[in-house]
A and B are shown apart, each in its own frame.
Chain A
Amino acid sequence: MSEMLGNQYFLSRNFSKAKEAYEKVLLSEPQNDFIKKRLIICYTQTGEINKAFELFYEIVKKIIDLITNTDLVADDCPCPELISKYGNVKPTEECSHDAKLMLGMLWLFCNSQISFEFFNNLSSEEKSDERIVEVRNIIKEKINQNEKHYS
């Protein structure tokens, strides 16, 4: 299986097959961050939220811009349609931990502020994962940087 085949599945929104193809490529190209970025989305759609978060955490720590600089149109990013599929849940609305985590990750591709609000909300949960707090802080820092840049 090739990266290109994974790309084809991803473009046609066949996330489970895209995941299979990308996972195989990642074995021989463990540093391919482009694939990891797409795998995050695939995992959220195959119900493997923990795997998605593992990669998300890795990318956010290493190079958050890779996600925040996504051009939704030019990159044919599926996140807006996926978020809408889940009913445009707001960060403060009642929903499961996994759903919030998934939406927090997907929102970072579209809107850092809303993603931050999801992670901020998750951070306030009892026995919150330290990595979630770390992600929230990195996103906040990124937002502050952007605000400084534009002010």
Chain B
Amino acid sequence: MSTENKFNEEILNSIAEGVITVDKTFKVNFINRAAEEIMGFKKEEVLGQFCKYILKCDLCQTKCPIGIVLETGSNLYDYSSVIYDKKGNRKPIKLNAAILKNSDDKPVGGVISFRDISELERIKQQSDIISNFFGIVGHSKAMQEIFKLIMEISESDATVLILGESGTGKELIANAIQATSTRKNKPYLKVNCSVFPQNLLASELFGHVKGAFTDAVKDRPGRFELADGGTIFLDEVAEMPPHTQIQLLRVLQEGTFERVGESITRKVDVRVIAATNIEIHRALKEGKLREDLYYRLNVIPVLIPPLRERKEDIPHLIKHFIETYSKLYKKNIPDISDAALDLLMKYPWPGNVRELENVIEYAIVRTKNDSEIDISNLPSNIKNTSAGQSIPLKSFRTENAASLLSLLEKHKWNKTKVAKELGIGRTTLWRMMKQLNLEE
């Protein structure tokens, strides 16, 4: 090796960015120390190998970074991608790519420099969790407790039972549980037990063999088989007919089942997340849900409070939905008026977050571009219900006085800061304080 090449290699080995060069056939002909460290390979394992087998970059097959430079003639800077190291660990990276040319200006190789941004992504994800946990907006103490619980159980394969009224976001919670679990990259199947006719649910869950019933024209695996190694989300689990509940109980206890019409016992390893919106104790009392199944499902219970019990989330949810639907309808809707917000804060939200989302979508459609949402843009049922009733307000008083008081104390009664945290105007805050008889 010439002295100049040796110097160059030393320089490249001293930098923190990974550097790999390839020849014109895309075989690796140089790798620096940082790249060895990021990818977990030794130099001698890599040299002479095709880069696609080393980097295992998610773009290798579709948009090879060096290929893009060759096609466009422009170098790539800070291009986001993902590589998999020797052990198969996923590593998000930012990469630069350039072409190496000979004296005739013909491409004879390429260079990729990259840095591992796993740590950066982890920190970013953690900060996102506070305001937006896997797409769930929840600043209230109750929702923060749920997010904390989900993180705590991320290493566990235990069965989870999610309880909550319709529209509270049970499926989003199930998705978050799956996405934070060790099975996140394994199959994830969802079954709404209430949409299948009672006689077909068992076949859907456990599969059937040809001839098991009139329409069974061929063998078909069930959702449990398809989810083997992964997770299954059983929504409306209390709607399951009694005989299917027994089969589910057996899968939970032994991991075994038979396809409908078959006597061969099959074994699966599936984590079950179940959900229901019915009042569980009444279902048990009426015999609608088997007690033994309930105890098997209820290993980790997650109770999502209705929106009326966490009204402090409403301003944040409104802000989130305004952003979402403004983008969807290509409108600039900067905010909601204090009066409209006040009305929405008083409404009891029997349809929970789903109803609030629909209301905001409706309001966005009806609001002129560059204007804020006002009472006149809200659906009439909201206007009528809230105007003439005092129950929500009363309920709001008792449920929120304590939390607002603690927020005021946290900010030493600085109303601007409290209003900012709640995502509301100072006037609205003043009105809320007046309603709740909260004075300094």
Q: Which residues of A lie under 8 Å from residue B110 when comparing CB positions?
A: 4
Q: Is the CB of A12 within 8 A of B107?
A: no
A28 nearest CB neighbor, chain B only: B106
CB-contact partner of B70 in A4, A12, A13, A74, under 8 A: A4
| A4→B24 CA distance, assembly (Å) | 5
Q: Is the CB of A8 within 8 A of B26?
A: yes
Q: Is the CB of B61 within 8 A of A2?
A: no
Q: Which residues of A lie under 8 Å from residue B62 when comparing CB positions?
A: 12
B268 contacts partner chain A, Cβ-Cβ < 8 Å: no
Q: Is the CB of A7 within 8 A of B106?
A: no
Q: Which residues of B lie under 8 Å from residue A7 when comparing CB positions?
A: 24-26
B52 contacts partner chain A, Cβ-Cβ < 8 Å: yes
Q: Is the CB of B64 within 8 A of A8?
A: yes
Given contacts A4-B70, A76-B50, contact A12 B24 (CB under 8 A): no
Given contacts A8-B67, A11-B50, A12-B62, contact A2 B106 (CB under 8 A): yes
Q: How far is the CB of A115 from chain B (nearest CB, A)?
A: 24
Contact with B along A27-69 (1 / 0, CB 8 A): 0000000000000000000000000000000000000000000
Give chain A's interface secondary structure class. Answer: helix
| A3→B99 CA distance, assembly (Å) | 13
CB under 8 Å from chain A, chain B span 59-100: 60-62, 64, 66-67, 70-71, 99
Q: Is the CB of B26 within 8 A of A2?
A: no
| A44→B277 CA distance, assembly (Å) | 59
B108 contacts partner chain A, Cβ-Cβ < 8 Å: yes
B64 nearest CB neighbor, chain A only: A8
Q: Is the CB of A11 within 8 A of B107?
A: no
Q: Is the CB of A2 within 8 A of B70?
A: yes
Q: Which residues of A lie under 8 Å from residue B25 when comparing CB positions?
A: 7
Given contacts A9-B67, A12-B67, contact A4 B107 (CB under 8 A): yes
| A30→B49 CA distance, assembly (Å) | 28
| A3→B24 CA distance, assembly (Å) | 8
A89 contacts partner chain B, Cβ-Cβ < 8 Å: no
A8 nearest CB neighbor, chain B only: B67
Q: Which residues of A lie under 8 Å from residue B108 when comparing CB positions?
A: 4
CB under 8 Å from chain A, chain B span 345-375: none
Q: Which residues of A lie under 8 Å from residue B71 when comparing CB positions?
A: 5
B49 nearest CB neighbor, chain A only: A74
B23 nearest CB neighbor, chain A only: A4
A7 nearest CB neighbor, chain B only: B25
Q: Which residues of B lie under 8 Å from residue A74 when comparing CB positions?
A: 48
Q: Which residues of A lie under 8 Å from residue B70 when comparing CB positions?
A: 2, 4-5, 8
Question: Which has the most chain B C-beta neighbours within 10 Å: A2, A4, A9?
Answer: A4
Q: Which residues of A lie under 8 Å from residue B107 when comparing CB positions?
A: 2-5
Q: Which residues of B lie under 8 Å from residue A13 when comparing CB positions?
A: 61
| A58→B62 CA distance, assembly (Å) | 33
A12 nearest CB neighbor, chain B only: B61
| A114→B356 CA distance, assembly (Å) | 69
| A12→B53 CA distance, assembly (Å) | 12
Contact with B along A1-31 (1 / 0, CB 8 A): 0111101110111000000000000000000
Q: Which residues of B lie under 8 Å from residue A9 when comparing CB positions?
A: 67
| A76→B66 CA distance, assembly (Å) | 18
Q: Which residues of A lie under 8 Å from residue B61 when comparing CB positions?
A: 12-13
Q: Which residues of B lie under 8 Å from residue A4 when comparing CB positions?
A: 24, 70, 99, 107-110
| A88→B61 CA distance, assembly (Å) | 25
| A2→B107 CA distance, assembly (Å) | 7
Q: Which residues of B lie under 8 Å from residue A2 when comparing CB positions?
A: 70, 106-107
Q: Which residues of B lie under 8 Å from residue A12 when comparing CB positions?
A: 52, 60-62, 64, 67
A5 nearest CB neighbor, chain B only: B70
Q: Which residues of A lie under 8 Å from residue B106 when comparing CB positions?
A: 2-3
Q: Which residues of B lie under 8 Å from residue A11 when comparing CB positions?
A: 26, 50, 52, 64
Q: Is the CB of B66 within 8 A of A8?
A: yes
Contact with A along B100-129 (1 / 0, CB 8 A): 000000111110000000000000000000
Contact with B along A110-133 (1 / 0, CB 8 A): 000000000000000000000000
A9 nearest CB neighbor, chain B only: B67
B63 nearest CB neighbor, chain A only: A12
Give the 9 A-B residue pairs with the shortest CB-CB distance, closest first. Answer: A8-B67, A5-B70, A4-B107, A4-B24, A2-B107, A12-B61, A8-B64, A76-B50, A7-B25
A positions within 8 Å CB-CB of B: 2-5, 7-9, 11-13, 74, 76
Given A3-B24, A5-B71, 16 more A-B residue pairs with CB atoms under 8 Å apart are A2-B70, A2-B107, A3-B106, A3-B107, A4-B24, A4-B107, A5-B67, A5-B70, A5-B107, A7-B24, A7-B26, A9-B67, A11-B64, A12-B60, A12-B67, A76-B50
CB pairs A–B below 8 angstroms (26 shown): A2-B70, A3-B106, A3-B107, A4-B24, A4-B70, A4-B107, A4-B108, A4-B109, A7-B24, A7-B25, A8-B26, A8-B64, A8-B67, A8-B70, A9-B67, A11-B26, A11-B50, A11-B64, A12-B52, A12-B60, A12-B61, A12-B62, A12-B64, A12-B67, A74-B48, A76-B50
